[in-house]
Structure 1
């Protein structure tokens, strides 16, 4: 029986997570500061260490194999823990205040774990969280009224992509709203990337649409769906009791993947962010990766 290595190099895992998560080898190499050939060699080395193929090529590029998907989930957790340990023992404790903006859907799904871990590793940094729509946060970034913001892609003020995944239909459990014509929807106001994607997908499928309810928050859209009045959309999340995912089986058209971005205030562009702001940004990246 071949002997397993004593441990896996985090640098191998970091490159693997980027590629398995959707990056090309070229994009992953740019992010980790290596050449494309060096990253390709890293992947071959990692496959040798675990004794099997981790990536395979499909129509969209490289995708994880079954063994690769198993490793991807655990590699993200390991890298996040590794970063938390290193952060804890790095230089002198950081202090300062950071104003972080996020839509309520991301705040509920992602931020609790991220902020709890950040408070443990950086107890001297105070974080103020503002929940509002991505387009409003984009304006506040330009005005430097927030230091960091987590926003949906497609804003006038773009940022660094930290997550990409599917947008999905949501409706009341046991109801048949998806059969109505026109289809009632609960969405954010005009200009929202999710709204544009939902309306475009239905239009391409030949479905008539009536945006019956507008809400600047996901919780507001969920409330309308729970009342049985409209369908809405969401990235993967824990749905409140009474809601269900809808898809092809219900005759709903496929929706595109959506990116979540991390953006800096205008005044921080082109310069090294203050250490306390950079620390929170890194914690958010690690949290979304995990």
Structure 2
């Protein structure tokens, strides 16, 4: 596995105090990861090294290319070599199980995929409305408002790389009582979601019924899409929700909560799953 962080030169200027400080700083590593399936490339994304198999599997699942972790027989790093001659581990090769083929081809894109990019450059919006196999709207889970309000702080306690760099997102999946089942970090918020879903999918079958996806960033379309495909009925975001995220959450029957911080919650869809707090 490559480095998660690295040290770089830095000059910090404090204009109010007229102070110039020159010393190394710790920043998050951003490197490309190519995912291949049976020798064919399906995506290349900029990510933070680490949990690459979770990322690869999570991407295949949330993009609707495979239905289960069992559809993937093996995953391995191809030992590609960087300019300095050292291995980079920036290619994951996945082999499908016997008799399994991809359910859909890789999404067509019109530009390279970056760490900030989930559905950026897609040929059409219809191409990314991947139909979930699960009836998320029928999930009977109920989550107390106090649980939702506490999830961002709980997530923050697991963000070790963020504490060192301030430069990565996090995604976690919790049960209805607020217990975090898994947390992953990455420079790309959609990568963090793929990592945490992929990690859980290696331990249990989808759907992830009765769970809550919490993200440290805004709730955009691709975050809600990935939750729907994984069968997650509740999404919590520290930041804002976009119009397409709200539309998709309403269509899929997902409870979408945004601006969840400082004891406040904004519910944009399916508020019936969250009982009103005591007066």
Short-chain TM bin = under 0.3
Q: TM-score scaled to structure 2, two decimals?
A: 0.21
More RCO (CA 8 Å, sep 6+) = 1
Structure ranking higher in helix proportion:
1
Give the TM-score taking structure 1 as reference length.
0.21
